[in-house]
Structure 1
Amino acid sequence: MHIAPLSPHDPAELGGYELLGRIGHGGMGQVYLGESPGGEPAAVKVIKPSVVDSETRQRFAQEVEILKTVWGARIAALLDADAEADPPWLATEYIEGLDLSRHVARHGPLPPLLAASLGATLAEALATVHKQGLLHRDLKPANVLLGPNGPKIIDFGLAVFAESSVSLTAPNTVVGTPSCMPPEQARGDRPLSPAVDVYALGAVVLFAASGHLPYQAANIHVLFHQVTDPETAPDLSGAPDELVPLLTAMLAQEAEDRPALSDVVQQCRAVIETHGFKVAQARRRLTTHTAAPSHVVDSPLPTVVAPPPAQNNLPDTPPQATTVVLPPTTPEPAPTLIDRTAPPSGSPVAEPSADPASPEPATTSDGPSASLPAPSRPARSGSGLRRHSAQARITAQRLREVYAAQAAF
């Protein structure tokens, strides 16, 4: 997880949460790493003062109400919120790890076994959301976080109640990510059905397995035409043969031709079983392969990734980062710094080979062998997950000082 220093204009605290750094941003708001008085980490989302108006507050309040409603093991939980504050904010469970977009950009596509496991996991999570009468409407690789306990879905800012045709979106306006958007959503049809999330999940699984989305174009008008044109088939190049039939069905032009989420789970299970694994074993391997090490602000000498430039949502690509190394201060015990490009160490299952190109041992506690590429893992000393609130505050202050020293203003 990239954690950038706070700027001199960022608040130091919101709703009782001490803000330690920036972990994401968009056109509407900023997301910070926060810490509760009791030391609980949180992702604190804030609407930018420059865009706060009555409609923005209403949309933000809707997101808060939806997050109060939705729940599940694969959903980032709401911790607290105040849509009437100035600025409006909400705090959700902090998930330590890369999003799927950054993970694929850094480590490459997932092997078929793990892509199928991801599909089954997210399909089950979306089924839980749908049972609560909700649609996500903006599932994409950047909204899937690969945490230490497995993947989780975030960002319900565009979610709506499935039975409602009412929307805060202005007439003839489409909101979402076009490269993961089904044709009916791109056309602005109302009301939408659960099939919109099935399509988006197909786009996510395709991306996980091949490294690209079903439609890609430099011009957004061309992209919308590709998505809505029945004669333009999605690009499934690079997808594993065993996943192509499922992906073809999930990315069907007509909503009624797409499978139910329960069928998606069963077909992903079938792919997993053809590799000689049980679904729980594949889930554990997915988590081992994708989970990330602890964030850098736990160390008194962190390497901090500077905030990336603003990006659009097309296509989903990770930002280019620059690195700022803080000068040394009085030595004190701290967890060993971790190479941010490496995946986690330690796991309930057997460790994969350090050589990304070499297969795993023939026999493991998870069953038969499978060639699952995994980057090397550096050794860790001590507990990399220990938090020290006093030291974190010192680190945050030093981050601000370094940021201020390098700022152009």
Structure 2
Amino acid sequence: MHIAPLSPDDPSELGGYELLGRIGQGGMGQVYLGESPGGEPAAVKVIKPSIVDSETRLRFTQEVEILKTIWGARIAALLDADPEADPPWLATEYVEGLDLSRHVASHGPLDALLTASLGATLAEALATVHKQGLLHRDLKPANVLLGPNGPKVIDFGLAVFAESSVSLTAANTVVGTPSCMPPEQANGEKPLTPAVDVYALGAVLLFASTGHAPYRADNIHLLFHQVVDASIAPDLSGAPEELVSLLTAMLAHRPQDRPALDDVIRRCRALIEARGLKVAQARRRLTNFTAAPAHVLDELLAVDRPATPGSTARARAGVAEVPAGRGEPEALAPEAAQQEPGGFRPDRQEPEPPRTPPMPPAPVPRPTDPRLLFARIDTPTLPPAGTTTDEAAVKPDLSRPSTRPAGRSGGGRSSAPRRSLRHSAQARITAQRLREAYAANSPF
């Protein structure tokens, strides 16, 4: 995802969120990448000052309260909002990844299996929204983010807010994206029903599998004419054969002819299972195919940020910063880690120090006789004077192997406490030499 630098007119902070860059804009306002005081990334949406008045603030407050009721694993959650601020803003979960529109433009359309998985996922997300008494009204490829944990739907707040704005619902004014808009919405009919989101989802799945919308025209007026004219069928060219029947039903001209979201899920599952997969397996394939590689937020910004003590310490440790939820940190390039004195890299052999310290004794070889796996370990005999440590390596007596479990002696329980190698004289000598070797190698 491209993040543009802030302009001189952009705020640097809103509601405790540090703004790092621009990630999108629309007719209602600007969307920024923000960071909470604890380092949590967020998408911070700001309403344009030019459309803010007392009525707008009241409506925005009401819409924020509605957004608090939306929940679901496939929905970017509302984190915080302040409709009384100047300007009003809200913060939602930041999903790192391309939206569906950019992914298809960069990597091409999805196949039938992945499209069916996307359809089942988004239909379930929309069904959850509809249970809250809310419609998305503006579902489109740009509002489907392909994150590291699967696709998520965004932009509920601005879509609902735009629908309720008096200035945007005046006569002869239609709110929405024409390429994914159902005929009744394009005609300005009220009230809208859940069928509007079914149609929009069909348009999204058609785009995902073909790279084009149901209707295409050179200007907006011709596009609206095609959408509302019942005699002009949607363009399904290039759609996988297995999906044509479902897409035709979802893009039906009349709302009552479109399937319910539960039926969409059922038909998508049937296609997946016909390929011999479970729906969860198809979901994982979709995520593995669409999720962007792990990125460092600093690298996504077009401008450099000043170094912080935390980032400097992480760089010295050979670890790169990653956003929340992106998995394990990435190791820096070997040359970067080697530039720091004392930097620890488990995958790099440290150079030998000038002075060779005394080496600890060789490890006791694992016995090959299976009877020795349960032999009792007694105190080893110390080496005679004048012998080296290697010559005095402890060796078990293979001539009298014991099959008794550890902790058992003779015909009964030993009266003396058991002494393990950890408490033996040889162990104390070994520990002392290990400490000397470590002290000689330590950079501090």
State whether TM-score is above 0.5.
yes
Unaligned runs of at least 5 residues, structure 2: 334-444
- Equivalent runs, 1:361-376 vs 2, <5 Å: none
C-alpha distance in 2, partners of 1:281/1:154? 24
Aligned equivalent of 1:83: 83
Aligned equivalent of 1:183: 183
Q: Residue 202 and residue 146 in structure 1: after superposition, are their counterparts in 2 closer, same or farther (change >3 A)?
A: same
Structure whose alpha-carbon radius of gyration is higher: 2
Aligned equivalent of 1:35: 35
- Equivalent runs, 1:176-325 vs 2, <5 Å: 176-298=176-298, 302=299, 304-305=301-302
Unaligned runs of at least 5 residues, structure 1: 306-323, 339-344, 348-379, 385-409
Q: Residue 18 and residue 346 in structure 1: after superposition, are their counterparts in 2 closer, same or farther (change >3 A)?
A: closer
Does the alignment pair 1:44 with 2:44?
Answer: yes
Q: Residue 167 and residue 266 in structure 1: after superposition, are their counterparts in 2 closer, same or farther (change >3 A)?
A: farther
C-alpha distance in 2, partners of 1:303/1:293? 12
Aligned equivalent of 1:353: none
Aligned equivalent of 2:128: 128
Q: Deviations over 1:43-94 (max 9, x none)?
A: 1111122332345434533441221121111111011000110010100111
Assess if the C-alpha contact under 8 Å between 1:179 and 1:213 holds in 2: yes
Aligned equivalent of 1:23: 23
Q: CA RMSD in A?
A: 3.0
Provide the TM-score with structure 2 as the length reference: 0.67
Identity among equivalent positions (%) equals 76
Aligned equivalent of 1:382: 331
C-alpha distance in 1, partners of 2:75/2:240? 28
C-alpha distance in 2, partners of 1:118/1:184? 25
Assess if the C-alpha contact under 8 Å between 2:3 and 2:300 holds in 1: no
- 1:304 Cα shift? 4.0
Assess if the C-alpha contact under 8 Å between 1:20 and 1:33 holds in 2: yes
Q: Which amino acid aligns with 2:201?
A: L
- 1:303 Cα shift? 5.8
C-alpha distance in 2, partners of 1:325/1:88? 28
C-alpha distance in 2, partners of 1:130/1:27? 25
Aligned equivalent of 2:159: 158
Q: Which amino acid aligns with 1:91?
A: A
Does the alignment pair 1:103 with 2:52?
Answer: no
C-alpha distance in 2, partners of 1:303/1:250? 37
Q: Residue 46 and residue 346 in structure 1: after superposition, are their counterparts in 2 closer, same or farther (change >3 A)?
A: closer
More helix by share: 2
C-alpha distance in 2, partners of 1:70/1:167? 26
Q: Deviations over 1:167-212 (max 9, x none)?
A: 9722332100011000000001111110000000000000001101
- 1:38 Cα shift? 1.2
The DSSP-based 3-state class of the residue aligned with 2:20 is strand
Aligned equivalent of 2:60: 60
Aligned equivalent of 1:4: 4
- 1:9 Cα shift? 1.9
The structure, 1 or 2, with the larger RCO (C-alpha pairs under 8 Å, 6+ apart) is 1
Provide the TM-score with structure 1 as the length reference: 0.73
Q: Residue 119 and residue 17 in structure 1: after superposition, are their counterparts in 2 closer, same or farther (change >3 A)?
A: same
Aligned equivalent of 1:69: 69
More strand by share: 1
- 1:326 Cα shift? 9.4
Q: Which amino acid aligns with 1:288?
A: N
Aligned equivalent of 2:352: none
- 1:273 Cα shift? 1.3
- 1:250 Cα shift? 0.1
